[in-house]
Chain A
Amino acid sequence: MEITNLSPIDVWFSDFEKDPLSALDNLLRGRAYMGKLNRNETPEILFRLFHTKDTGIQRALDEAMRNWFQSYWMAMPRTAASAQWAEILQNAFISVQRLKLCKSYQWLSGSCFRGRSWLRSLYQGPARDPEASLLQTLALRQQDRTLLPLWIRLCRMEEDLPLHYGAVGLLGLRKLPEEDGTPPGGLNPIVLQGIVDLADAIYHRKKTQGEHLWLLECRAIMALYPRSTQYWIDNFSPLIHQKPIGDAAKWFNKTIPGLFDKMEQQRHDKKPTGVFSRPPSKQHLEKILRLIEEQPLDSIKEELQGFLEKHRHYAYQTGVSEFLAKTFCGLGNKIFKRDINLALDLAEEAFLWEPYNPFTWTTRAKIEEYQGNYPRSMALLWEAKRRFPGNAHIRTELANLLGKDSEYKIAEIIYRQAIVDFPKDDVCRNGLAGVLLQRGKRGDAIALLEETIKVFPHNKVAKEFLQKVTHGESIPDISKVYKDDFAGEKSKPREVEVGAKPVESAPFPTKTKIDIDEPGQKKPSELKTAGGEEEAPVEDNIEEKIGMTNLYRLESRTVDNEKEREGCKEKAFSLIKDALQKTPDNVPALLENGWLLLDEAADHARDFFSDQLKRHPHVLGLHLGNLRYKGQKAITINRQEWADLFENFSGSSTVINLERTLHEMSHGNGGRVTALDDLRRQLAKNTNQLPATLRENERWAVSLVKQSLFGNINLGESLTEDSIPPIIANYKRHEHLLKGIVEQCVSAI
């Protein structure tokens, strides 16, 4: 072996000078021995190596780190063990924070949205939780207020995450910069709102250890910001008044003696001394809408800007984003034909606040389509379809868009599947009728419309549609039909009622300036992150491939013709193979692949699930797929395996219960009645306590399972062997649908 006078650190630096990315990769992955520093944790090693170096070398590290993230984002090495990789990622995130690596930070903040489900899949407990490490890094190095909605959501526990994410949310709020980007000069009132929100969420979700965690957080924050007791009383009591938080209010009295007395006094005075503003009034909105109708946008620029600012101010002050999202999307829909840039900015800003609100997805898609960005619009809708399986409107929008591109066959499949998933939705039926006409299936269209009118006798659209068809119009204006269908959207957008899925903040600017005179249209690719960096490139067509795979896979279950069935599967396999080649750790793509293998009853499904569970131990869908495979192969599933899932994925009890029931129905060994009865009890539970990101999908699943599996069974009574024959019949009739509910819910990540 060559004798060298260079220390291991010198050798590494020499490598770094030649090839920074490779040297950094070796260090992060434990391939570089760092001599006297080696025993330290990686972030400490990197800090010691670089913190005294000149800015040029630090910049090289920053560049290398960003490239490193790009190389491995959703594509970790094949041989990597998940526990080790989780630790490596944590070390990388911490290093970005400690060494203030700006480019890496900006890349991460732009890639967070698409990376979180992957990071979450590596979760092995609070000690190996790369997602929390990333969020902590983002919180500590915030350069603007872009991430505020994310911190609020974490405090409200709107995502299905462990308790300690609430603490990350509070950290993010505390470290939120001032509007000019400077560090916070004091305790932002939004932190107090976050504390109240967290108490409320913990109380309602009945989180174990929740009170203890909350008290620790609250006391630590009060110690970090010494204020008089009167200050705390004056500032907390109006918040608690505004938001009744039940017994959680008692926790406040443990930390702020006298709070209850003050609140009692305010109750008598009936004048809570609120420090927060109100959202703009309905009258103000109506005035703005009137102005938009009557005047050129140029002439109402100031008025409109003022109105938007009021909404922003209210959202920033209170963290309540409902009004902002609804209004901004509504305005976006209203003005996109007159000022597309402004419309898109408003929709993006709404999305930033409420990414779990489907309305923010469909609005963006609509505007993107209008400005000719068809692939982006399509990608948004495919992704929305996956994230919000319980939302019928997204299906209609997607099918509509596909129809405009003459993809009638795919549109038809989407509608057909939507009709099964949403038996009470008349809009999908009318949409399907339109597509059938386009495909020359006039008879089918008429039959469908007639059936629709039978089921929904008051449906004017179907009646009018049928009338036009029967009176000789070969293909009535379908868009008119859609428009009529959503005429009520202004006042009561269907989407707003629905909230579903995860939910990271996206890399778009929070505040958009109205610059109506600016020529040219801003393309999504030109959008910058708040820090001025370009957002991470988005593989838009990946979502399309995943969506199409899902479509063909489900279709293959229903077509009778074997050749067609095989054709569907072939297409599905080919599409998902492409998607996984580009992003091998894309969790929804992996799940689609797994379901496909199960449908094939392929032996290598076992290896697939076993390998992927080693790489992604925290993905419910992979666990359920693995158990489904065992069922298929008559391998015994012990009770503990189900119990572990209930414990580790407590927010998804309905889906787990449903899968267990399906298993018992088809392969079980005497546990059928128990499983059905457990499911019955589960369906009766109150869904309000679920995180917002799960709630609407859960409601959809509950409703569909009730209808399709239990039919007319009284769910208030326990099930017995005698009462289940009709349920068995239902199961046989709707097996594919029920399986599909499980698959769609676990893929909505």
Chain B
Amino acid sequence: MAFQKTKSSSFYQFLKTTAKGSHPELRVIAENFILEERLTGQREDSYESHIAAPANVGDWQEGHEGYVAEKINVVSGTPETFTAQNQPNLISKLDENQYLVRLENATRLGNALGLTNNELIDYLSTFIKNPGDKDAPAIVEKILADWNKTRDHRPVFVGFWDEVKDLMVDPEGKDRDAPEWANRLRDRFGLGHYDPDEGEPIPVVLLRYRVSDVINGRPADPKFAAVPNVLDSKWSPFFCPTPVNGWNEGQSLDLTAGNKDEYALNCEIVHRYIAYRASYFYRAGWITKSPGRTCEEARRIHFSLLQNDYKYFSEL
């Protein structure tokens, strides 16, 4: 089910119009909503109560942000994503020992300590290389405490370590000290919004932890992870909804430069809030370049691989 259920609705007509015109970066947002198959009736209703009948993109975006603020990026309680309202998309069968990975923009992590980004990345790198260092652990613990406290409970987008570890370790399992790791990982996970363009590099941290770390945060509640859909975060042209048919996880865009043949689909899921621990820090570094592939190109390839599974592809 999705917004296509009532094709005569004013919102659907608005989506169709928006998807036909305008700039590609805007068009794709409407396309995503048309393609989305994973919304339950309850979630759709919940969303529609925020957007009513938008007259323009500004109204729609404001309504969307209002929905996300109230239902997804909550400061207490559970985001709609991990409630029974999203039951069909909940994931419960994952091997608990496997590693998940998440790339975070670290810009604000040093604020509470008044650290510059350079200092922050230096401390984190020192800690990761040598957790027994004299000073870095105290600083990292403080950073973590502030970060955990000031993060809201929004769904956390993650990928699987196995799918990206080639970027971080060589076949023998030794760490690759590749300076480009952050750029490459950003591209592999389709995180095109991390784009320094011609400006300052973006400080990032890579967190790695096990599925069991997520589950153990609230063991009694099995609703810990889900396949992401268009309602689970702010709009992004780099997000693509994943068909229901044949796909049990989300699939991120691959922004890595290269031929179509080299395009890789990577699984992505969202999980509920967990408090990060120092042991989760795996790398700290900088994103220095724009993505290797444009959003448009990546989506074109992405759709060529998935279009047969999309139920509403013909609506585009």
A-side interface residues toward B, CB under 8 Å? Answer: 1-8, 11, 26, 29-33, 35-41, 43-44, 47-48, 51-52, 81, 83-84, 87, 94, 97-98, 124-129, 136, 139-140, 164, 167-168, 171, 174-175, 213, 216-217, 219-220, 222-224, 226
Contact = CB atoms under 8 A, between A and B. Distances in A.
A555 to B, nearest CB: 42
Contact of A8 (B26, B70, B105): B26
Interface stretch (B36-44, B92-100, B146-154): B146-154
B141 interface: yes
B193 A37 contact: yes
Given A36-B238, A51-B199, A174-B114, A30 B193 contact: no
A52 B201 CA distance: 12
Contacts of A26: 58
Interface string B152-189: 11000000000000000000000000000000000000
B25 A8 contact: yes
Contact of B198 (A52, A164, A220): A52
| Majority secondary structure of chain A interface residues (helix, strand, loop or mixed) | helix
B142 A220 contact: yes
Nearest to B29: A33
B108 interface: yes
B7 interface: no
A216 B141 contact: yes
A29 B234 CA distance: 13
Interface in B47-77: 57-59, 61-62, 64-66, 69-70, 73-76
A31 B234 CA distance: 12
Contacts of B76: 124-125
Nearest to B115: A224
B236 A167 contact: no
Interface of B: 17-18, 20-23, 25-26, 29, 57-59, 61-62, 64-66, 69-70, 73-76, 105, 107-108, 111-114, 134-136, 138-139, 141-142, 145-146, 149-153, 192-200, 233-239, 295
B235 to A, nearest CB: 5
Contacts of A5: 23
Contact of B142 (A30, A51, A217): A217
Contacts of A31: 58-59, 61-62
Contact of B23 (A8, A164, A220): A8
B235 A33 contact: yes
A115 B142 CA distance: 29
B22 A1 contact: yes
A171 B75 CA distance: 24
Contact of A127 (B107, B151, B192): B151
A489 B101 CA distance: 67
Nearest to B65: A30
Contacts of A87: 69, 73
17 contacts: A1-B18, A2-B21, A7-B23, A8-B26, A30-B65, A36-B193, A36-B237, A36-B238, A36-B295, A37-B193, A37-B195, A38-B236, A81-B69, A84-B69, A168-B112, A171-B114, A223-B135
A171 B112 contact: yes
A605 to B, nearest CB: 26
Given A35-B26, A38-B235, A125-B76, A224 B139 contact: yes
Contacts of A52: 197-199
A130 to B, nearest CB: 12
Contacts of A81: 66, 69-70
Nearest to B191: A39
A30 B54 CA distance: 14
B75 A1 contact: no
With a 10 A CB-CB cut-off, give which of B17, B18, B65 has the most chain A CB atoms: B65
B17 A220 contact: no
A35 B23 contact: yes
Given A39-B238, A128-B75, A140-B111, A33 B57 contact: yes
User: Which of B74, B142, B295 gathers the greatest number of chain A CB atoms within 10 Å?
Assistant: B142
B242 to A, nearest CB: 17
A228 B36 CA distance: 60
B46 to A, nearest CB: 14
A5 to B, nearest CB: 7
A102 to B, nearest CB: 18
Nearest to A137: B111
Given A36-B238, A140-B114, A216-B142, A3 B22 contact: yes
Contacts of B58: 26, 31-33
Nearest to B144: A216
A167 B141 CA distance: 14
A171 to B, nearest CB: 6
B235 A94 contact: no
B152 A128 contact: yes
B62 A136 contact: no
A226 B59 CA distance: 53
B20 A29 contact: no
